[in-house]
Structure 1
Amino acid sequence: MNDSKEVVRSTGKGFVQTVVDVGGQKGFQPTNAQLSLIRGYQTAMTNALQNKGITWSDIVLDQKLYQDLVNSAQMGFDMQVENTLFPIPRRDKNAGKFRFTFQLGSNGYLWRAMKYSYGKVLDATPRLLYKGDTFIPHFRDMNHPYDTFEYEPKDILAEKKDEDIVGGFVYIIYDNPMQNKLVIMNRAEINKHRSLAQSDNVWSQWYGAMAKKTLIIKAAKAIPLDPSKIDDVYQQSQIIESEGTDLDTQNDILDQQASGDIIDTPELPPAAPAMSAPIPAAVPQPAAKPAAAQEHKVVMPDKAF
């Protein structure tokens, strides 16, 4: 670790090369895509600092930070893709500076689940249900070989109001349709997640958007993982996730990080230009629709189901 510190100081390596050299394990050879992601991390982190009125000189730059960035690049997380991974600067009471933690967004949860899924996931698009919509779920049973549904909005051209949302669903479509899975949430379930938010400002202004994010996260957690795919990158990603979201143990995490060596990178290069690597594109819902028994047809009521 001391050797790495001296190399950085004597050569004045840039941000990306420092991340690779200090954060990567011995023999780590980043791909061009991973290098692009790391450049994007620099941009996103710089923007996060500017929004908080913090400078890079106020940030603790240690091996733990660089390892987290390498892991995120190996996972394929793109901080410049909406709701994937957020860099969060938090004050370290011991160092008298700030440290970056990383919070996983809804698209980040889905990206990771799709990457490590048992079977190939083609699509997991969230949809909201409004008063008057017709929604008929068909879960796998003797009459249905896999989950499916029927959905007919009351008026597709009508203005959609947040107060009319009664729930939502995600239809997880696999390359093998026998694995297709339907995930449903009603408004009461969505509101439970809202109640856990530190601030209600975003929810009150953008209820529909936040409801969709909540549906995506639930769908991601409903995707079975392939044990043969689980590796060190996945396991470390879970640790980073817990550090970014578990505020109750944040001080303990920072205390542990404080024991690491600090890498001095006095001259950070200008932020890299914006780039984008979106998550896999959605595919159309299968056209086949099993016939439904008329007595099972449900019309969304005026209140949450």
Structure 2
Amino acid sequence: MSTKAVTTTKNELAKAGEASPSERFTMAVIKEFPNGLNGQPTELTSFQRKLIQNYFIKLDGVLKEAESKRMAKSEQYRDALAFSWNNVNMNKLALDVVAYSSIGLDPLQKNHIHPIPYKNSKTNQYDITLMEGFNGLELKARKYGFDVPDDVIFELKFSTDVFKSHKKNAQNKVESYDFEITDDFNRGELEGGFYYMIYNDNPEKNKLVVMNRSQIEKRRPEYASAEFWGGEKDEWKNSKKTGNKVKVEGWEEEMFMKTLKRHCWDHVNIDSQKIDDHLMRVLENEQQGNDREVVEQIQAEANKKQIDFNEEDLDVDFEEVKTEQPIPEGFEEVAEEPGF
């Protein structure tokens, strides 16, 4: 794709009232880009403009789907605030789109980034949270990470598989493992998984991370959908819960693999020398999400029992955004497709 710079002019912004929703969205985002040198108009490459358009296309679809689900509910249970562009906090969204698009995250690429709308009761608008998928986390890690591995092997471990780790010690200079699939078509029960980080020029830095079923399942988001993870869910009829539960098979293998990949790329340290303003906003957004999680845990556990934090607790990945109201039906799970 051509990287020929496209300059935003004042005349272009003046036409905002005549523009389509897509064009108005692009102009709102362009306003938030840093000014060029000597106060010159902001210059965007054609690739940046394409990414901005992709954010609009994805967000427009998300809002329309959410509005369709809202209208499908009976008026008694329907929130009065419509999922429309007029009700979106555009200032926050524009700043976030600038940051994430500058990193190179494309919402139309598989598992790069997922927009999730939630109602902010203080502003009576919808804030759009942009949640990174595991491919987005890898892209960010490779662009901004410190000591990024050259390659990573991800595997799931079933009960009939034979696995043995070889940890680094005084006699063994390179951490490694043995893994054999004894029955390709009947591997048994899913027990967990592992990933192996490879450094081609420095194999002594190779690292093996093993996660059993319990360690993976505890990273399942609180609002995770049964359609993804499997299990039971509430039965609905005529937009109302029947009080019954229905069992859903889900995509457990894919969710375990997703968790392994998120754990890997989310734990690559950021190189402080590579941090720019765009990454700083992304990191601030992530921290705000984590802070909300901690606050809600404290509030939920207050006056009930002592909260004990250990080293393992501090390693938890908070994949879901906790909101001031439940995530709209259909957005319980960050919308990563189960297939890879």
TM-score strictly above 0.5: yes
| Per-residue Cα deviation, 1:253-301 (whole angstroms, up to 9, x for no partner) | xxxxxxxxxxxxxxxxxxxxxxxxxxxxxxxxxxxxxxxxxxxxxxxxx
Match of 2:193 among 161, 168, 181: 168
- CA, structure 1 residues 152+120, in 2 after alignment: closer, same or farther (shift >3 Å)? same
Distance 2:153 2:15 in 1: 44
Distance 1:135 1:10 in 2: 63
Q: How does 1:40-79 map to 2 (within 5 A)?
A: 40-53=54-67, 56-79=84-107
The offset of 1:137, in angstroms, is 1.6
The offset of 1:146, in angstroms, is 3.1
Distance 1:12 1:142 in 2: 68
Q: How does 1:109-124 map to 2 (within 5 A)?
A: 109-124=137-152
Structure 1 residue ranges without an equivalent (≥5): 252-305
1:25 pairs with 2:34: yes
- What secondary structure sits across from 2:141 in the alignment? helix
Alignment check: 8 A CA contact 1:146 1:177 kept: no
- CA, structure 1 residues 203+8, in 2 after alignment: closer, same or farther (shift >3 Å)? farther
Distance 1:46 1:89 in 2: 11
User: Which structure has the higher relative contact order (CA within 8 Å, separation 6+)?
Assistant: 1
What amino acid is aligned across from residue 138 of structure 1 in structure 2?
H
1:154 pairs with 2:185: no
| Per-residue Cα deviation, 1:11-53 (whole angstroms, up to 9, x for no partner) | 6481464144222111253333322222211111111112112
Q: TM-score, normalised by structure 2?
A: 0.63
Partner of 2:277: 232
Q: How does 1:204-215 map to 2 (within 5 A)?
A: 204=230, 205-215=250-260
Alignment check: 8 A CA contact 1:20 1:30 kept: no
Q: How does 1:130-279 map to 2 (within 5 A)?
A: 130-156=158-184, 158-160=185-187, 164-178=189-203, 179-194=205-220, 196-201=221-226, 202-204=228-230, 205-243=250-288, 246=292, 248=296, 250-251=323-324
The offset of 1:236, in angstroms, is 1.0
Partner of 1:83: 111
- % identity of equivalent residues: 26
Tell me the C-alpha RMSD between the 2 structures. Answer: 2.9
Alignment check: 8 A CA contact 1:104 1:241 kept: no
| Per-residue Cα deviation, 1:125-152 (whole angstroms, up to 9, x for no partner) | 4210000211122233333333322211
| Per-residue Cα deviation, 1:103-159 (whole angstroms, up to 9, x for no partner) | 222222222222222234333342100002111222333333333222111222x14
The offset of 1:170, in angstroms, is 1.1
Distance 2:16 2:24 in 1: 12
Alignment check: 8 A CA contact 1:135 1:151 kept: yes
Partner of 1:275: none
Distance 1:43 1:68 in 2: 16
What amino acid is aligned across from residue 222 of structure 2 in structure 1?
A
Q: How does 1:273-292 map to 2 (within 5 A)?
A: none
Match of 1:108 among 136, 139, 154: 136
- What secondary structure sits across from 1:218 in the alignment? helix
- What secondary structure sits across from 2:173 in the alignment? coil
- What secondary structure sits across from 2:111 in the alignment? coil
Alignment check: 8 A CA contact 2:112 2:134 kept: yes
Alignment check: 8 A CA contact 1:203 1:210 kept: yes
Alignment check: 8 A CA contact 1:85 1:105 kept: yes
Partner of 1:289: none
Partner of 1:280: none
Distance 1:218 1:89 in 2: 24
The offset of 1:84, in angstroms, is 2.2
Match of 1:126 among 137, 141, 154: 154
- CA, structure 1 residues 105+62, in 2 after alignment: closer, same or farther (shift >3 Å)? same
